[in-house]
Structure 1
Amino acid sequence: MDNDRPIVTGTFRDQDSFDRAVSDFRKRGYTDEDFHVVMSDDTRKRYYADGDAEIEEGSKAMEGAGAGAATGGSLGGIIGAIAGIGGAVIVPGIGAVAGPLAGALAGAGAGGAAGSLVGALIGAGIPEDHAKTYERDVKNGGMMLGVHPRDDDRDYVRDRYNQYGANNVYSS
Structure 2
Amino acid sequence: MFDIQVGSSDLSLTDIAANFMSSSADYELYYIAGGIGSNLNNPGSWTLHDSISSLAGGSGLSVWNIADLLLSANTMYGLYLTSTGGSDYIGYRNGSSVGDVIASDSNLSILSGYGRSHPFGGTFSPRSFAGSLSYDIAAVPLPAAGFLLLGALGGAAALRRRKKIN
TM-score > 0.5 by shorter chain: no
- Tell me the TM-score normalised to structure 1 length: 0.23
**The structure with more strand, counted as a fraction of residues:** 2
Greater RCO, 1 or 2 (C-alpha within 8 Å, sep 6+) = 1
